[in-house]
Every structure is written in structure tokens, then in C-alpha cells.
Amino acid sequence: MNGRSHGWRIALAALSLLALLVHGRAVAQPQETPRSPVSSLQHIALPAGEPIDLDQPVGADGASIAETRRFHGLAHYLNGLRFFRITADGMIALRDGDTATLGEGEWFAAVGRFNVLAIRGAGTGIAIGERDIRLDAPAGASEVPAVVVSKPQLRELDPVLDRLRYAHLWSPLAALSKSVEAVLVFLERITDAGWAIALILFAILVKLVLLPVSLATAGFQREVSAHRAALAPVLASIKKAHDGEEAHNRIMAAHKARGITPFYTLKPMLGLFILLPVLIAIFNALAEMPQFAGAGFLWIRDLAYPDDIFGLPGTVPFIGRTFNLLPWLMALVSVAASLRFRDVHASPAELSRKRRGLLLMAATFLLLFYPFPAAMVLYWLLNNLLQAVQQELWK
């Protein structure tokens, strides 16, 4: 294993955890055309006593709460809806079939990818459906006042509602995601060059900040490769000539002679404890920032959605129904870096095996990243490019 393959494993783990950490069930949407996030607080009145479909427009400008474009594969969680009751003691997650009656000063929130439907009013009853809600107004009123708001504007409505942002994450990861978002907003504000340029600058900044960790991990991997190459013939000889406890004792002695233990291969994993939380935070921020909606770059019409070039005849599992160019470019960079990989301690057969592993990892990431929004894929493409540059300089 080398520094780059270790980075692949970390990122794969981050993406898998991202899917597991996000709560909310995705349901196929009849509407494929995305609607923009709301640009300002929208005070509306909702009818009492009848279902309110959160996949349909509820805002004054036609905004819906749920994401209206259907995502596939691991990205399907972006179609999810989450429901919360916010009290003085904290937030209570609500599920399909739950009911709640708001007390004085309490909020109810239906949370989609970009937008939130917020309701406040003592005595208001809410019945939660799979993708809809039913309201009971206090004192027999026919309507319930509500507010449609994008996630960055939650603090403007009520500071306590800011806890809804990244509420599916463990609180330290939620705070880290908010920090990622704040840095991206700052970069876009000071450059005034668009969100794509801000994302490029952010990718470079993250790489520079984490460069010591990356270099240390690569150094640890080189040490592991050197130890493995030196131990291989010794261990093979021991296993051929001895067995049982004698073989175990000689293997332990061989490791001790090099000043290591049999667990030396775990040393590069130390970087995981820094890199994995950062990647989870970045992916969550890029997925949920409404600022990317409508922002284009080169051929990409909207960074908040896949860069679909043309439609496919049908829906492909885990892929969707569009041809997206950006994931293929990401995979191409990974393949090129894999073919350029060198390990001075590996035999030709071992080097060939490692390259095949890297190529398989590139194919896996192509499949996993394919249906995600362009902002997320663009970031990983930039990360791969910067990693390839580092790999060439580190030789």
C-alpha cells in the first residue's frame, strides 16, 4: 500500500460514512426539473386540515421544501426530508406517523436539501406523513402561518434554528461543516469571481493545510513498503522451515530485529483521524450549500446538480439516466496517476498488483461519485489533480 492508495481508502470510507450519517429516506420524485432555493424569508399561510405535499411548491416563488430532482446511487439521500420539533431543551426528530403539538416558543421544521419550512405557534398540531404534513390550527382557524427559508437564513429567522443546519451530523462534524461553508463564502466574497473559482481556491487551501498530514502519511507508507520488502524473504523462510509456536517466535524476533511490531502496517492510518472528518464535513457542505444552485462553470450549467451532457435511453442502477462528463474526467486523472505510480521497494509483480488495485479503486470511485452534484465531483477532481502533482514532486 502507498500514500495514494491510502488516500483512496480514506476517501472511500468518508463517502460511505457520508451516506450512513445522513438521515432521511429518498423517494422517487415525479418532477425532474430542480427549483432554486428561496432567496429571502417567505411568510406564507398553509391550509389547516388537509395534506401539504412537500414535493410541491409551497413558497411564494414556487419553491418546494424537498429536492425535486431525483438523485440515484449514494446521492439518493439528497431527496430525503427530515422533520424536527425544536424546544427549549433541544431538537426532537420526528418520523412518518408521528404527531406533535407545539408549545409556547416552540418551532416545527420540515427540512429539505436547501429549504426549510418553519412553523411556530402554541397549540398548532402537526401530523407527519412520509413526504407530507397535515396541520391543525389552534382555535379552529383555517390557516397556519409559516415561513419558507433557505438554510443559510435560518439564523436570521431565529438563532435557535441554526441548529437545523447539518443536524444529521455529530455536533463536532456539524460545526466543521459550517466552518467549511463559512470559508467558501469568504473566498467567494473576497474574490467576487464566482462559486466555481471559490471552490478551486478552497481545494488548494485544504491541500496546503493538510499537506503535513499527507506528507507524513506518504512517509509512513514508504517505511511500511521498505519493512515489508525486507521482511518478505525472511518470513517466507521461517514459514517454510517452521510452524506453530516456533514459527511465531521467529516471526516476532524478525520484527523486533527491525525495531517494529507486526502492527507496523497500521501506522499510516494515523492520518485517517484527521482526513476523514475533514472529508465528511466538506462533502456535506458541498451537498447542502444552496449558494451553488444556479452557479455554472465551463460546460457545467449548475454546480448543485450533476453536469449532465445528454440523457440516456433508460435509468441505469447507481448511475441514473444522464451522461455526466465530470466523473469521467475525475476517473481519468486517477487512472493517469495510477499508471504513474512507482514503488522502489516493490517487485515487478507486486508493483503490477498495486497498480491494478489503484485502477480498481478509480473505477469504484467513478461509480460512487457519478450521481453526485457537480460541486462535489469537481472538488474531488481537483483533489486528485493536486494529489497527482504531489505524487510527482514526492518521487
Which DSSP string do the residues of 276-342 spell out, in sequence order? HHHHHHHHHHHHH-GGGTT--BTTBS-TTS--EEEEEEEEETTTEEEEEHHHHHHHHHHHHHHHT--
Measured CA to CA, the distance from residue 362 to residue 368 in angstroms comes to 10
pLDDT of residue 345: 58
Rounded Cα gap, residues 326 and 342, in angstroms:
27
β partners of residue 116: 111, 149
Q: Give 36's DSSP letter.
A: P
Looking at residue 38, its pLDDT comes to 65
| Pairing mode of beta strands 132-136, 308-316 | unpaired
Q: Provide the residue count of the chain.
A: 395
Asked whether the CA dihedral 153, 158, 159, 165 is positive or negative, the reply is negative
User: For 315-347, what is each residue's pLDDT tens digit?
Assistant: 888 888 889 999 999 999 888 877 776 665 556
Tell me the residue type at 190.
I
What burial letters (b/e) apply to 316-349, b meaning 16+ CB within 10 Å?
A: eeebbebbbbbbebbbebbbebbeebebebbeee
∠ Cα 211 212 218 (to 5°)? 85
How high is the mean pLDDT of the chain? 83
Residue among 336, 306, 310 nearest 318 (CA): 306
Q: What is the pLDDT of residue 342?
A: 65
Q: What is the mean pLDDT of each run of 10 residues along the chain (395 residues)?
A: 42 43 35 60 89 86 85 90 92 93 93 94 92 89 91 92 92 94 96 94 94 81 76 80 79 81 75 86 94 92 93 86 92 82 63 74 86 94 87 68
Number of Cβ within 10 Å of residue 360's Cβ equals: 12
Per-residue pLDDT at 339? 74
